[in-house]
């Protein structure tokens, strides 16, 4: 179902408010790593609205490497995200990690995110395949293209055809970036599949100084959109403090990406 062989035309995902993912327009998905508070989330929503961003991300269920790190606000976080987004006319995307939370999340998210660590959580993929809600599937930490597309197939095989793929970096021996951004994944996925393909520049690189060139490279390679993390005061962030952009940095980043002419 994911294959270009079964469907020649690009899949275009229609979101509320006439926001589209795939096709002729690029999409910028931005927001904090974690939903931390109402105040923090509303501040980001206001900044994103001002910048012309339509889709706000924010993690409520955080898959942290250490059990002692901030685990997210859970359903409260989803509520805070929804309220802030509604106040500023934005759409929401948030990671769901438990199949039992798929149904309850439908009131709060416009897009369900499945995280890299859960790309092969097959029960979660099946649950996401059973609802009528767009899903953004992240590439696993060390997933091959074939495994990635099979994971998308799990969702689609349950009836949900609104699937988007996102490259978020893979594990390699390289230490100067958090992960290695696999730009070649973009044209390969676009060729092999009809689904929209995005690139998460924050988690793939883990460093702020190369976000703009990486976003431009992604768009030049055919990506339909970019994901980037934005926080009012990154130094105090409860997760990914080292790599989130503050509002000024985000505006500079987005301006540079738009000025390239690659953002449609
Ligand atoms: C995220 O986007 O919040 C996240 C945890 O990313 P990943 O699943 O790609 O590590
Ligand atoms: Mn993060």
- The beta strands (E) that lie in the chain are given as 13-15, 19-21, 27-31, 55-57, 91-95, 111-114, 135-138, 163-167, 197-200, 225-229
Question: For residue range 155-167, what is the model confidence (pLDDT) as tens digits?
Answer: 999 999 999 999 9
Among 115, 118, 141, 179, say which to mutate for ligand 1: greatest number of ligand atoms within 8 Å of CB. Answer: 115
> How is residue 51 written in tokens?
């910048």
Q: Which ligand is nearest to the Cα of residue 143, counting in written order?
A: 1
Say what the pLDDT of residue 91 is.
98
Say what the pLDDT of residue 234 is.
98
Q: At what angle do helices 211-220 and 247-259 cross, to 10 degrees?
A: 30
> For ligand 1, is residue 129 a contact (CB within 6 Å)?
no
Domains in the chain, ordered, with CATH?
A: 13-259 (3.20.20.70)
User: In the chain, which residues have pLDDT < 50?
Assistant: none
Interval between CA 239 and ligand 2 midpoint (Å): 6
* Percent of the chain whose pLDDT exceeds 70: 100
Beta-carbon contacts of 254 under 8 Å, excluding residues fewer than 6 positions away, are 28, 30, 51, 52, 53
**ipTM computed for the complex:** 0.99
Pairwise CA distance, residues 207 & 185, whole Å: 20
Say what the pLDDT of residue 198 is.
99
Instruction: Compute the radius of gyration of the chain from its Cα atoms.
Output: 17
Phi, psi of 166 (to 5 degrees): -140, 125
């Amino acid at each position: 179902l994911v294959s270009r062989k079964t469907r020649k035309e690009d899949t275009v995902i229609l979101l509320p408010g006439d926001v589209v993912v795939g096709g002729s327009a690029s999409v910028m998905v931005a927001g904090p790593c974690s939903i931390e508070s109402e105040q923090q989330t509303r501040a980001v929503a206001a900044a994103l609205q001002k910048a012309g961003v339509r889709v706000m991300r924010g993690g409520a269920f955080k898959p942290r490497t250490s059990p002692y790190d901030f685990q997210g606000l859970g359903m409260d976080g989803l509520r805070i995200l929804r309220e802030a987004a509604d106040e500023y006319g934005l759409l929401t995307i948030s990671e769901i990690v438990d199949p039992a939370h798929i149904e309850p999340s439908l009131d709060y998210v416009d897009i369900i995110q499945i995280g890299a660590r859960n790309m092969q959580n097959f029960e979660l993929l099946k649950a996401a395949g059973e609802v009528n809600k767009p899903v953004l599937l992240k590439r696993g930490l060390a997933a091959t293209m074939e495994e990635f597309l099979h994971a998308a197939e799990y969702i689609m095989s349950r009836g949900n055809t609104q699937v988007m793929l996102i490259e978020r970096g893979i594990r390699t021996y390289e230490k100067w970036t958090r992960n290695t951004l696999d730009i070649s994944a973009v044209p390969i996925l676009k060729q092999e599949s009809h689904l929209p393909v995005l690139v998460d520049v924050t988690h793939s690189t883990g460093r702020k100084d190369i976000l703009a060139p990486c976003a431009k490279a992604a768009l030049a390679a055919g990506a339909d959109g970019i994901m980037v993390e934005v926080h009012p005061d990154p130094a105090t962030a409860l997760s990914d403090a080292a790599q989130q952009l503050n509002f000024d940095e985000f505006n500079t980043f987005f301006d540079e990406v738009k000025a390239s002419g690659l953002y449609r």
